[in-house]
Amino acid sequence: MTIQAVTTWEGSVKGLELLVEGSKLSAPYHESLGAKNARLWRASAGGDVERAYYAIEFDSHEAYGKFTDGMMAGEWWAGTVQWMDDNKDDIVNCGTVIYYDAI
């Protein structure tokens, strides 16, 4: 069963540019912890231009749980929290939703 963790971000043009750069740095780290297929989704037509969606996949809920445990235990997470605080006027983490493939 494929599991996808999707984190929604909302921000200014500057904040979303910071997120793009941060995502390029984060993806390899996340993959080293077991995530697959890291993507940062942005709207190319229509609305939702103030939002971006960072998505990573896992083979199971268990794999996602191991990823989360590893991420929270490392220094990377503390740095990410500091980055969010330093840039809170330009970019906001709106939370993560965990999806499963139902077909």
Question: Domain ranges in the chain?
Answer: 3-100
1-12 average pLDDT score? 96
Q: What is the mean pLDDT of the chain?
A: 95
User: What's the average model confidence in pLDDT over 24-44?
Assistant: 96
pLDDT value of residue 14: 96
What is the C-alpha separation between 17 and 19, in angstroms, rounded? 5
Average pLDDT over residues 7-29: 96
Please state the rounded mean pLDDT for residues 1-11: 96
pLDDT of residue 48: 85
Rounded to whole angstroms, the Cα distance separating 13 from 6 reads: 20
- Structure tokens of 48? 């939702």
CA–CA dist 61, 82 (Å, integer): 27
- 3-100: what fold? Alpha-Beta Plaits (3.30.70)
